[in-house]
């Protein structure tokens, strides 16, 4: 799938995260996919990113550059998008209504340390 994204030079955030994870793993850098809610994405929405380990810690990266990583709300982390699927079912699903709310705390937004 990553090869199709590379050859087409297009895709959604999930495709780009997969492609970047593939490149990092080819360089023997541990990498994984992150599913998150991005309140500062325009419009606010679910978003796929990646984390890479730099030898000291996991670092989150938005390869699309569309969402500030410091504002993300992590939903799941996994080896690939199959591990962090938004929804899976064995039959048809009917969605009647959905509402997602995120509140940004001023101290968190400014990077203040928690006490």
40-52 tens-digit pLDDT: 888 888 899 999 9
Domain that holds residue 40: 2-85+97-109
CATH classification at residue 17: 3.10.620.30
pLDDT of 3: 65
- Residue 87 tokens, joined: 């929804």
User: In this structure, is residue 92 part of a structural domain?
Assistant: no
Q: Is the pLDDT of residue 55 over 90?
A: yes
Q: Are 109 and 71 in contact (CB under 8 A)?
A: yes
- Model confidence at 114, pLDDT cuts 50, 70, 90, reads very low
Q: What is the mean pLDDT of the chain?
A: 81
Q: pTM score > 0.85 for this model?
A: no
| Rg, the chain, Cα only | 16
CB contact at 8 A, 59 and 70: no
* Mean pLDDT value of segment 12-27: 90
């Amino acid at each position: 799938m990553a090869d199709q994204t590379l050859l087409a030079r297009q895709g959604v955030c999930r495709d780009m995260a997969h492609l970047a994870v593939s490149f990092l793993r080819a360089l023997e850098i541990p990498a994984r996919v992150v599913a998150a809610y991005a309140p500062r994405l325009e419009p606010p929405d679910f978003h796929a990113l990646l984390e890479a380990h730099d030898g000291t810690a996991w670092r989150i990266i938005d390869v699309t550059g569309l969402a500030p990583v410091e504002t993300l709300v992590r939903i799941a982390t996994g080896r690939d998008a199959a591990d962090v699927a938004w929804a899976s079912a064995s039959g048809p699903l009917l969605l009647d209504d959905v509402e997602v709310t995120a509140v940004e705390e001023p101290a968190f937004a400014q990077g203040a340390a928690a006490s």
